[in-house]
Amino acid sequence: MIYFDHNATSPIDPQALAAIDAAFARRWGHPQSLHQAGRAAAAMQEEFTSEILRALGEPVGPSETTHVRWYPTGTAANRAALTALAYAAELPYRRVIVTRTEHPSLIRTVEELVRDGFEVAWARVDNSGGIDLEHLEELLRQPASCVAIQWVSHETGRIQPVAAVSRLCAEREVPLHVDGVQGAGKIIGPDFRCQSFVFSAHKFAGPRGVAGWLIDPEYLGRRSHAGEEPVAPIELLAGVAAALRRSLDPSFRERLKGWRNHLQSELLEAYPRAAIHAEKAPRVDQTLSIAFPPIERQSLLMALDLEGLCCSAGAACASGSAEPSPTLVAMGLPRDLVRSTIRLSLGMTTTQEEVQEGLGILRRVLRRLANT
């Protein structure tokens, strides 16, 4: 089996698994207990949490002043974050600003807020999926509860200009939530500051069931479920820290970029009608969003699966949907490109042999479907 769907989830890195086992051997006390074993466990918890925040680049600020809450999924963390930030504002500011290219977890939360009486302002994006900063600046001239944006597109790998978004929000004193699920562990050091940030460990080969919400305590509003502090097992935090170290290694990032570019150039040669989404825009190293018109994406995905290659059309949360991708539609792409797009995403366990074998399967299936 060839696995090219790491943007959906990655197998856990063996070093992360070893770190989890080592933490189990070191710790047996409860971190809230006052005795020696409890204090040792609390110290480990603080140690791993601080290491994770430093590896992420402390996007909300120094680890000492950042409040962290743990959730089982990035979807749950995004929902909690956007809801809390929206309700932290005064009532006259019941308005949120987002783009239509956001992950379904944010879009669904926005829909819930609208049902609760919020207004939503949709910021435009260009044909690469990048936010229109001039339009955002215009939208910010009216009061807003918050702005929410992905750091990296879950479909195309397009990196948003979050630093510029952050500056515009700061000028208007509007809090910014960054969905960092597809960027954390893939970009070395963020160049921005925000008030709220979410990541999910399994996206960078960490343990499943651990997603973090980093929040400036000032913005913990009345919908933030005070007193119901979600926690993560200390041992899993050890695995998160280890996976981040490995995933952010510059040589690893460069290797993934080389393989992604090789796939891209070979597929363009094999199928000249192919189109790369966000090709000229900043992208993360391991994601390739590519259209093969006029082949329908579902037919292509099923044919590839039968040949032993796992990939997808986009978010796992929306898998199986016959509807066109909202992200690609928002980018203004032609219908034939939207309907023929698949996503190939590499990760920690990808090997050069796997890339070559996967490329052979893609060539073979494309040749067959193009002739039917």
pLDDT, tens only, 332-346: 999 999 999 999 999
Domains recognised in the chain with CATH numbers: 2-9+249-370 (3.90.1150.10), 14-247 (3.40.640.10)
Tell which wins on pLDDT, 184 or 226.
184
Give the residue from 270, 272, 271, 287 showing the smallest Cα distance to 327.
287
Give the residue from 322, 184, 186 showing the smallest Cα distance to 260.
186
138-160, pLDDT tens digit by residue?
Answer: 999 999 999 999 999 999 999 99
Question: Mean pLDDT, to the nearest integer, of 1-22?
Answer: 96
In which element (H, E) is residue 265 found? helix 250-270
Phi-psi region of 225 (alpha: psi -120 to 50; beta: other; left: phi over 0): left
202-237, pLDDT tens digit by residue?
Answer: 999 999 999 999 999 988 754 554 445 666 788 999
Distance CA 280, CA 288 (A): 12
Tell which wins on pLDDT, 223 or 112.
112
Q: What is the pLDDT of residue 36?
A: 86
74-96, pLDDT tens digit by residue?
Answer: 999 999 999 999 998 876 779 99
| Residues with Cβ within 8 Å of residue 61, at least 6 apart in sequence | 193, 216
Tell which wins on pLDDT, 223 or 267.
267
Distance CA 71, CA 224 (A): 13
Distance CA 144, CA 135 (A): 14
C-alpha distance from residue 187 to each of 2, 159, 183, 202, 314 (Å): 25, 9, 6, 15, 20
Tell which wins on pLDDT, 102 or 91.
102
Q: What is the pLDDT of residue 25?
A: 84
Name the pTM for this structure: 0.94
Amino acid letter, 35: H
